[in-house]
Structure 1
Amino acid sequence: MRNNKCLLIYILLTAVFLLSGTHKATAYGDYDFWIQTPTAWTQNTQGLSNDLKKQVISPDRNAFIEVYAAPGNNPGLQTIADHMEKGILNRGGAYFQNRINSRNIMQDNHPAIFREYSSFYNGNRLHAYAIFTYANGGAVVAIGVFAESFAQQYQNLVYQSINSLRFSPPSSATAGGNSPYGTSGNGCEQLVGKWKWFTGSEAQFYAGGRMPGNGNSWQCLDPARGVVKIIWSNGRWVDTLTLSADGRKVEGKNQIGNRVWGTKISGGSQSVPPPAVQNVPQQPRPKMNYARKIRGNLAASWRLAHGSLKAGTADSRGEWELSTVSGTTLRFTDPYKQGKQRYRVKILTKDNQLVEEVVVGMSEHITVSPGVYKIRLFSEGGYAGWRCEWH
């Protein structure tokens, strides 16, 4: 990755406490904070702004983790998250260009916002995770960034590190061990992989809280104890489960108290990257933004494309072309907002290399780097209206 040092953009906030990378608490005033970082990474202590309390960089400089903090009254999580995000963007920080998702979580029993981003910088696609929270009298933001071409190596290290953020001393049960964080314990990352579910079906879990299927996701509630929450179909079923010590079994209850369990079939924290992280071939940066129709019952203009598909007819397929000079997140939806229909989206480069493919029920998003793309749509049976918006 070229010019990684330029990615280390120092931003807003002021702070009076340090977030320690070890289990030994370092307290300033009334604050105690802990975060675990990969032991082989370099800790940068030179030229940090007052608000940047910790920065560690991978040996090859293709990933880094930063923690910012500031004491003061709580303005609200949304304000903290939006203010920090805007501050980074205003100062040229590339890694917050395209927000992929944002959700409310609990971080060590404190309300928090988790956000995920994709971006394009200096010829490289980047991926970032961020946790925004308020605890012990101050705002705290943990950010992890890695080059998407190195996702297999760094994605889960970065994700696990920022999710280890704590506001009370870590349990002594997690001290020591041989993990890349200097800790043992079961950890939420052991959920990643393929599982045999109690229903007889198979369930797949990706790093970063991703799962196949519309409206499915998972969250880490307690990395030290391996407690996870699994959300199915936008909350139709919600399971709260605990991983076994060896990470091969998971068991708990759903929201109505029924027992839920699963047994791991295959996969691990490094073996299954989420679909949003791909080594997509880089394209020449186009000179202008545009969207135009190629075929089918559709209309396409900049920021909006829409149409309909009907299986068994000449309108069963549609295709349009997108040219974008910057990283762009496309949001495909069911315009009827019912989620009762399905249509397939394939995004290809100009020379027909597949970038990503999804099936859309209620909504899905795809982030692309600068380039010119063919976007094809197919009916998954019957009639389907479709809509795509971007900003």
Structure 2
Amino acid sequence: MSIHKHSFVFILLAAAILLCHAHPATAYDDYDFWIQTPTGWTHNTQGLSEDLKKQVISPDRNAFIEVYAAAGNNPGLQTIADGMERGILQRGGAYFQNRITSRNVMQDNHPAIFREYSSYYNGNQLHAYAIFTYANGGAVVAIGVFAEALAHQYQNLVYQSINSLRFSPPHSAGSSSHNGASPYGGSGNACEKLVGKWRWFTGSQAEFYAGGSMPGNGNSWECIDPAHGKVKVVWGNGKWVDILTISADGSRVDGHNQIGNRVWGTRISGPSQSASPPAQHVETPQQPTPKMNFARKVRGNLAANWRLAHGSLKAGTADSRGEWELSTVSGTTLRFTDPYKRGQQRYRVKILTKDGQVVEERIVGMSEHITVSPGIYKIQVFAEGGYAGWKCEWH
């Protein structure tokens, strides 16, 4: 998918909004917050609205981070969050179109609301994170937005940036949050190292997404001690509850479940100590190069032709699984997506060689990109929950 280089320009200019509508507020220039922003991003200081205190944009303009702040009485977190969400949409900002999750969190010891969104704008799928809170006598909102097709490049950067929001000076800070470089040297949240894919002690794979979500019905995680990297993982709506501590290098988790049994996992992919995003290219076994390109249906409620395969899945029925075959004479990137562009469903994809060797297995939310070498593959798609539509495109 080709990303439009200036796709976010309108959104950036349209985002102006006054906070705390229910209580008149006077914005001020020296609002006390600190936030870490990615190295090399452009700090925009021109034409910002009264409440928009910080705006940084990625070099290719396919991601940005904004912080809004306004002094005034506290109207309540729900009012702050809903008012900002509504105001952005009314002013043409697309990135709050579809709310995926909303949960209460603590941000630097202040109650806050964390929300995740998906949207579609100017030919691109977008993903957004937002933190809404009240601190130091005013409402503060941190927003991060990126193109879904570039999630492998921007998702962790954006998520970690808005979660680095602080309201007391960092130990090394002696400058204002509005200087060109952020004084805040790190997010201080070791829990963020959990994001990624893990080999679980049971022999299965576990995957943890930014923001506390996980594949599977009733699965979730939350940070309970950011300084020491301690997390709580809930499986199956509370059937099993694990309390885990992440190692300093982010390569291992250890802990116990609610009945005292030891639980552990080792990292397969995802952010480590360097917080680098998970690699999207997979090493595939060497196979004889096929003579032609084709795709065909094997089983299930689906259609498969060269460049496009799609179908639907429904758990607990004969249509809970689909399978199709792909033959490619050159390296090919498969782009699996949610065809409804809502980010409110998930499905599982397993890619195998013709002789049954597993190449890759992923959970698809909004989109996943998987690159395979020349060869002939069996591609299986499974329901991950209830109903899911799925789509795969390649060129």
Shorter-normalised TM range: 0.5 to 0.7
Corresponding residue SS for 1:209: coil
Deviations 1:273-297 (A, max 9, x none): 8xxxxxxxxxxxxxxxxxxxx99xx
- Provide the C-alpha distance between the structure 2 equivalents of 1:77 and 1:4, rounded to a whole number of angstroms: 28
- Bigger mean CA offset, 69-78 vs 9-18: 9-18
Cα contact 2:119–2:125 (8 A) shared by 1: yes
In structure 2, do the counterparts of structure 1 residues 330 and 245 end up closer, same or farther at CA, with 3 Å as the change threshold? closer
Which residue does 1:270 correspond to in 2?
277
Unaligned runs of 5+ in 1: 19-26, 174-180, 274-293, 296-306, 319-324, 333-344, 349-355, 375-391
- Provide the C-alpha distance between the structure 2 equivalents of 1:184 and 1:3, rounded to a whole number of angstroms: 28
Q: CA deviation at 1:224?
A: 4.8
Q: CA deviation at 1:219?
A: 3.1
Which residue does 2:176 correspond to in 1?
none
Over the matched positions of the two proteins, sequence identity in percent amounts to 70
Which residue does 2:54 correspond to in 1?
54
Q: Does structure 1 residue 93 correspond to structure 2 residue 90?
A: no
Q: CA deviation at 1:191?
A: 1.5
Which residue does 2:169 correspond to in 1?
169
Corresponding residue SS for 1:207: coil
In structure 2, do the counterparts of structure 1 residues 168 and 222 end up closer, same or farther at CA, with 3 Å as the change threshold? farther
Corresponding residue SS for 2:38: coil
- Provide the C-alpha distance between the structure 1 equivalents of 2:129 and 2:115, rounded to a whole number of angstroms: 6
Instruction: Supply the AA of the counterpart residue of 1:359.
Output: A
Q: Could you tell me the TM-score, scaled by structure 1's length?
A: 0.63
Deviations 1:2-51 (A, max 9, x none): 34211112122255456xxxxxxxx54xxx32111112111111111111
- Provide the C-alpha distance between the structure 2 equivalents of 1:346 and 1:17, rounded to a whole number of angstroms: 40
In structure 2, do the counterparts of structure 1 residues 359 and 89 end up closer, same or farther at CA, with 3 Å as the change threshold? same
Q: CA deviation at 1:310?
A: 5.0
Which residue does 1:387 correspond to in 2?
none
Which residue does 1:205 correspond to in 2?
208
- Bigger mean CA offset, 153-162 vs 256-265: 256-265
Cα contact 2:103–2:114 (8 A) shared by 1: yes
Q: Does structure 1 residue 83 correspond to structure 2 residue 90?
A: no
5 Å matches for 1:350-369? Answer: 359-361=383-385
In structure 2, do the counterparts of structure 1 residues 264 and 328 end up closer, same or farther at CA, with 3 Å as the change threshold? closer
Which residue does 1:304 correspond to in 2?
none
Q: CA deviation at 1:257?
A: 6.6
Q: CA deviation at 1:264?
A: 2.4
Q: CA deviation at 1:220?
A: 4.0
Q: CA deviation at 1:213?
A: 1.4
In structure 2, do the counterparts of structure 1 residues 254 and 114 end up closer, same or farther at CA, with 3 Å as the change threshold? farther
Deviations 1:100-155 (A, max 9, x none): 12122222222221111111111111111111112232221110001112111111
Cα contact 1:185–1:245 (8 A) shared by 2: no
Which residue does 1:154 correspond to in 2?
154
Instruction: Supply the AA of the counterpart residue of 1:136.
Output: N
Q: Could you tell me the TM-score, scaled by structure 2's length?
A: 0.62
Q: Count how many residue pairs are aligned between Structure 1 and Structure 2.
A: 295
In structure 2, do the counterparts of structure 1 residues 43 and 217 end up closer, same or farther at CA, with 3 Å as the change threshold? same
